[in-house]
C-alpha cells in the first residue's frame, strides 16, 4: 500500500500541482499526499468566495480516503476572512470528522514561531491587495513585518510557470533591505520555492519558511510522524525531533 506511513490530504484552492511535486521531491517512500482540486482561477474575491463554499465537502472526501491529517490550502482565503478564521475552521472540522484538519496558514504561523522568527520579510508572487491582507494577518498573529512585496500575479495558472529561482531572487533582495529580520517567509505553495531554501539560509544565516514546507511540516506534526528531511532548510530538518 502506498502511503503506508502517512497520507496527507490537501484541499487545494486550485490545482495543487506544485505542492504535490515538491512534496515528492522532499519526502521518501511511504509518504503520500492526496489532492482535492479547487476552483480558484483568478486571485480575486469572487473566486475565493466560491472556493470557501466547497472546503467542507472536499475535507470530508479526503477523510473518507483515509488521510491521517488534512491541510486546507489558500492562505488568501483566510487573510480575507481575517485573523482567527483559520483556527476556528480547523477546530470545527477536526471535531466534526475526528481527524486533524487545519488551514495551511495556521501551519505557516506555527512554523515561523517554531523557528523563533518574530521580525520577518515576506516575499510573495501576489498583488498588493493580497500582500496587504497577509501583512495584517501576520501582525495580528504577533509578527512584525519589515518588508512585504510580490510579483503581482493574478491568474492562478501563471504561478506554477514562474521561474524556479524567482522566490529566491525576491526573498534575497527583500532581506538585504531589512537585515535585522529574524527570517524570511515565502507564501503560496503553487509557485516553485524549495529549490533554493537551503542556499538562501546559508547565505543570510537566517531561517526561511515557505508555504510548501509549512503545510507538510504542520500536516506531519498533526499526524504525529517524525522523519529526517535533509537539504531543504531548517524547518524540514526539524521534523526529526
Question: What pLDDT digit, counting tens, does each position of 130-157 carry?
Answer: 999 999 999 999 999 999 999 999 988 8
User: How many residues can be counted in the chain?
Assistant: 241
DSSP state of 239: G
Distance CA 77, CA 134 (A): 10
Q: Identify the residue whose cell numbers are 503553487.
A: 190
Q: Does domain 108-211 have CATH number 3.30.70.270?
A: no
Distance CA 189, CA 40 (A): 14
Determine how β-strand 69-72 pairs with β-strand 101-103.
parallel
- Most distant CA atoms of the chain, gap in Å: 49
Q: Does domain 6-105+213-240 have CATH number 3.40.50.12500?
A: yes
CA 191-197-203 angle, to 5 degrees, is 135
Provide φ and ψ at 54, rounded to 5°. Answer: -110, 0
Domain boundaries, the chain: 6-105+213-240, 108-211
Q: What is the mean pLDDT of each run of 10 residues along the chain (241 residues)?
A: 95 91 96 91 84 92 97 94 96 97 98 98 97 98 98 91 97 98 97 97 98 97 95 96 88
Amino acid at each position: 500500500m502506498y502511503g503506508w506511513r502517512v497520507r496527507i490530504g490537501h484541499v487545494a484552492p486550485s490545482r495543487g500541482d506544485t505542492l504535490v511535486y515538491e512534496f515528492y521531491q522532499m519526502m521518501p517512500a511511504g509518504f503520500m499526499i492526496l489532492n482535492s482540486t479547487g476552483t480558484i482561477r483568478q486571485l480575486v474575491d469572487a473566486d475565493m468566495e466560491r472556493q470557501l463554499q466547497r472546503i467542507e465537502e472536499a475535507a470530508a472526501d479526503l477523510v473518507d480516503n483515509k488521510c491521517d491529517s488534512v491541510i486546507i490550502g489558500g492562505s488568501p482565503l483566510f487573510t480575507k476572512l481575517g485573523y482567527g478564521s483559520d483556527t476556528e475552521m480547523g477546530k470545527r472540522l477536526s471535531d466534526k470528522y475526528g481527524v486533524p484538519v487545519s488551514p495551511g496558514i495556521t501551519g505557516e504561523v506555527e512554523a515561523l514561531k517554531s523557528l523563533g522568527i518574530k521580525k520577518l520579510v515576506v516575499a510573495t508572487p501576489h498583488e498588493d491587495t493580497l500582500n496587504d491582507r497577509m501583512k495584517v494577518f501576520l501582525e495580528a498573529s504577533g509578527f512584525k513585518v519589515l518588508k512585504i512585496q510580490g510579483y503581482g500575479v493574478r491568474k492562478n495558472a501563471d504561478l506554477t510557470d514562474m521561474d524556479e529561482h524567482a522566490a529566491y531572487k525576491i526573498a534575497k533582495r527583500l532581506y538585504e533591505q531589512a537585515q535585522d529580520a529574524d527570517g524570511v517567509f515565502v507564501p503560496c505553495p503553487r509557485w516553485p520555492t524549495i529549490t533554493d531554501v537551503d542556499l538562501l539560509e546559508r547565505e543570510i544565516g537566517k531561517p526561511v519558511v515557505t508555504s510548501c514546507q509549512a503545510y507538510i511540516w504542520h500536516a506531519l506534526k498533526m499526524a504525529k510522524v517524525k522523519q529526517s528531511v535533509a537539504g531543504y532548510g531548517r524547518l524540514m530538518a526539524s521534523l526529526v525531533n
